């Protein structure tokens, strides 16, 4: 019961933060609030027993992503223009999507149900086999590295590719080389 | 309908409703706001809400984080594990990698925004669309006859 | 820029070493506690980013030059994939760490996890620092007063 109480408080704080982000038009404040959002969601991940996820979210969401967003604002503009169109059509679209999603959750097992289909198959199998197969306490690391090593290799490759993409878009290697050639000629 | 309105059902599904509320707030920012940086922030909110929803599926009532106790020789202490419930670690693994991939793709989007600003001198979607419309119009006036008389 | 903000400079110098030490702890203690390559990589890159923010991009590029960042990005993926290729050469499946110590499969799994987590950490560090360099290396379009 205490868990539920804490969850509801955290979720209402998250909702208030998200609504504040909708209303703000100073982008600096928006970025700071998105950092607050990430930290609050990290707290929620802890109450959901996902400590590794909480750790990652706190480091990535509140650290790196805030730095990158601030860097982007420094390269662009700090104030948002008010949209010229009416907010009615987006609101209707969002309401319809939300209603469809809520309809989808009606079939789901209750929150925290130990007999839910998600708990019965592969997850509990990993929990049972890890002490004998790999013998390390953190099951998340065991699955990440060993049982699902292919996935992790793929994710690492995706991160690498995204880094290459940013370098191609932003680093301006060719322009710098041309500048150096001009200096050499001069 | 009445089966959905008792207290037990609502208490079991209240979390899902709140996650969906957060998701829809993020979606509203993406659809409604025209500033591209704000769209990325909205996308992040949407993404984190999906992560919370996904991780909540692995939660077991009365369970604890999936990290086993250790004995004195740094092995898993199997005797201390009896009778302890652990939450499902599989969603944690999937979301852990998804967060890092998410920041990598977010930075790619931000890099694109920086380049868009250098080309159009604005990061407002409506301005960019009107500039592109003007460019197409100018092109049609200039080359329309040669391409088949569109002007 | 460098000659202002005395407190920031002193605190940063104290923090950078601690952050790197914490990143290494998260990296190599990930088998026993929350943590692992992804988190350690992000924390390690934060050490370089905070140094760059306070002391300037030119200074941090002396510590961790750009060509080295680009090499580290690729090196991590190579370590990860190379572990898989090595286990294939030993006659096991791709990424089957039993191959690293055929007599004692559990020890092989421990070693394999340590190596691939290290590879992940190296790649994530490289990518995050490279992205920061790419963003910070451009000329800002707004001045400090516009914030």
What ipTM was estimated for this complex?
0.90
pLDDT in tens, B119-140: 888 888 889 999 999 998 888 8
pLDDT at A176 over 80: no
pLDDT at C6 over 90: no
DSSP A79: B
Nearest Cβ partner of C109 from A56, A133, A167? Answer: A133
Question: Helix (H, G, I), strand (E, B), or coil: what is residue C12?
Answer: helix
pLDDT attached to residue A182? 63
Which tokens hold the place of C76? 């991590």
Could you tell me the pLDDT band of residue A43, with boundaries at 50, 70 and 90?
very high
pLDDT attached to residue A80? 81
Q: What CA–CA distance (Å, rounded) separates C80 from C87?
A: 11
Q: What CA–CA distance (Å, rounded) separates C101 from C104?
A: 6
- Mean pLDDT score, A103-114: 88
Which tokens hold the place of A52? 């590794």
Radius of gyration of chain A (CA): 23
Residue of C nearest to A71 (CA): C135
What CA dihedral angle connects B3, B7, B12 and B13, to 10 degrees?
70
Percent share of chain B, pLDDT over 70:
94
Q: Dihedrals φ, ψ of B67, to 5°?
A: -125, 120
pLDDT at B72 over 70: yes
Identify all chain B residues contacting A37, using CB atoms and an 8 Å cutoff: 44-45, 48
Which range has highest mean pLDDT (A100-104, B3-7, B72-76)? A100-104
- Kindly report the average pLDDT of chain A as a whole number: 87
Those chains having 3 or more beta-carbon pairs within 8 angstroms of chain B are A, C
pLDDT attached to residue B31? 92
- Mean pLDDT score, A88-99: 94
Residue of A nearest to B64 (CA): A49
Given a contact cutoff of 8 angstroms between Cβ atoms, the answer to whether B90 and A126 are in contact is yes
Q: How far is C-alpha A75 from the geometric centre of its chain's CA atoms? A: 23
Residue of A nearest to C135 (CA): A71
Contact yes or no for C141 and B117 at CB 8 A: yes
pLDDT at A18 over 80: yes
pLDDT attached to residue A186? 54
Identify all chain B residues contacting C141, using CB atoms and an 8 Å cutoff: 117
Could you tell me the pLDDT band of residue B26, with boundaries at 50, 70 and 90?
very high
Compute the nearest-CA separation of B5 from chain A (Å).
11
- Mean pLDDT score, B50-73: 88
- Kindly report the average pLDDT of chain C as a whole number: 89
Contact yes or no for B107 and C38 at CB 8 A: no
Q: What CA–CA distance (Å, rounded) separates C79 from C102?
A: 20
Q: How are the residues of chain A apportioned to helix, strand and coil, as percentages rounded to the nearest 5?
A: 80, 0, 20
Q: What CA–CA distance (Å, rounded) separates C97 from B11?
A: 45
C:23-52 residues touching chain A, CB 8 A cutoff: 26, 30-36, 38-39, 42-43, 45-46, 49
Question: What single string gives the DSSP state of each residue in C125-143?
Answer: HHHHHHHHHHHHTSPPSS-
Handedness of CA C93, C97, C100, C104 (dihedral sign): negative
- Mean pLDDT score, C73-98: 91
pLDDT at C144 over 70: no
pLDDT attached to residue B2? 64
Could you tell me the pLDDT band of residue A42, with boundaries at 50, 70 and 90?
very high
pLDDT attached to residue C95? 86
- Mean pLDDT score, A137-163: 91
pLDDT at C147 over 70: no
């Amino acid at each position: 019961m205490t868990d539920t109480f804490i969850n509801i408080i955290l979720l209402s704080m998250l909702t208030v933060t998200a609504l504040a982000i909708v209303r703000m038009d100073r982008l600096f404040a928006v970025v700071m609030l998105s950092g607050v959002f990430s930290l609050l969601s990290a707290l929620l991940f802890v109450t959901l027993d996902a400590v590794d996820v909480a750790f990652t979210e706190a480091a990535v969401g509140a650290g790196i992503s805030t730095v990158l967003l601030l860097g982007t604002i420094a390269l662009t503009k700090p104030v948002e223009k008010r949209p010229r169109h009416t907010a009615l059509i987006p609101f209707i679209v969002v309401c319809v999507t939300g209603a469809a999603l809520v309809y989808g959750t009606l079939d789901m097992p209750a929150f925290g149900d130990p007999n839910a289909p998600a708990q019965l198959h592969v997850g509990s199998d990993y929990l049972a086999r890890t002490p004998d197969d790999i013998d390390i306490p953190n099951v998340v690391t065991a699955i990440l590295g060993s049982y699902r090593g292919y996935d992790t290799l793929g994710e690492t490759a995706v991160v690498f590719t995204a880094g290459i993409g940013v370098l191609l878009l932003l680093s301006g290697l060719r322009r710098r080389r041309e500048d150096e050639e001009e200096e050499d000629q001069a | 309908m009445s089966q959905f309105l008792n207290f037990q059902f609502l208490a079991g599904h209240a979390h899902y409703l709140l996650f969906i509320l957060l998701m829809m707030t993020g979606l509203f920012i993406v659809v409604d706001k025209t500033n591209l940086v704000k769209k990325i922030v909205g996308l992040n909110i949407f993404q984190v809400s999906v992560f919370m929803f996904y991780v909540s599926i692995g939660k077991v009532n009365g369970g604890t984080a999936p990290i086993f106790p250790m004995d004195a020789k740094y092995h898993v202490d199997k005797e201390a594990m009896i009778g302890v419930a652990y939450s499902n670690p599989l969603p944690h693994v999937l979301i852990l990698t998804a967060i890092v991939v998410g920041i990598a793709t977010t930075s790619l989007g931000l890099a694109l925004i920086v380049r868009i600003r250098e080309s159009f001198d604005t990061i407002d979607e409506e301005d960019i669309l009107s500039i592109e419309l003007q460019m197409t119009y100018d092109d049609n006036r200039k080359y329309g006859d040669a391409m088949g008389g569109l002007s | 820029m460098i000659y202002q903000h005395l407190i920031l400079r002193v605190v940063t110098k104290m923090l950078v070493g601690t952050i790197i030490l914490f990143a290494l702890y998260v990296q190599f203690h990930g088998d026993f506690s929350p943590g692992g390559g992804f988190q350690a990589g992000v924390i390690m890159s934060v050490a370089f980013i905070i140094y760059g923010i306070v002391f300037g991009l030119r200074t941090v590029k002396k510590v961790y030059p750009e060509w080295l960042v680009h090499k580290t990005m690729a090196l991590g993926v190579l370590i990860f994939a190379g572990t898989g290729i090595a286990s294939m050469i030993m006659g096991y499946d791709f990424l089957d760490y039993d191959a690293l110590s055929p007599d004692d499969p559990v020890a092989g799994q421990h070693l394999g996890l340590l190596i691939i987590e290290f590879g992940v950490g190296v790649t994530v560090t490289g990518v995050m620092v490279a992205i920061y360099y790419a963003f910070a290396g451009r000329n800002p379009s707004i001045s400090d007063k516009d914030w």
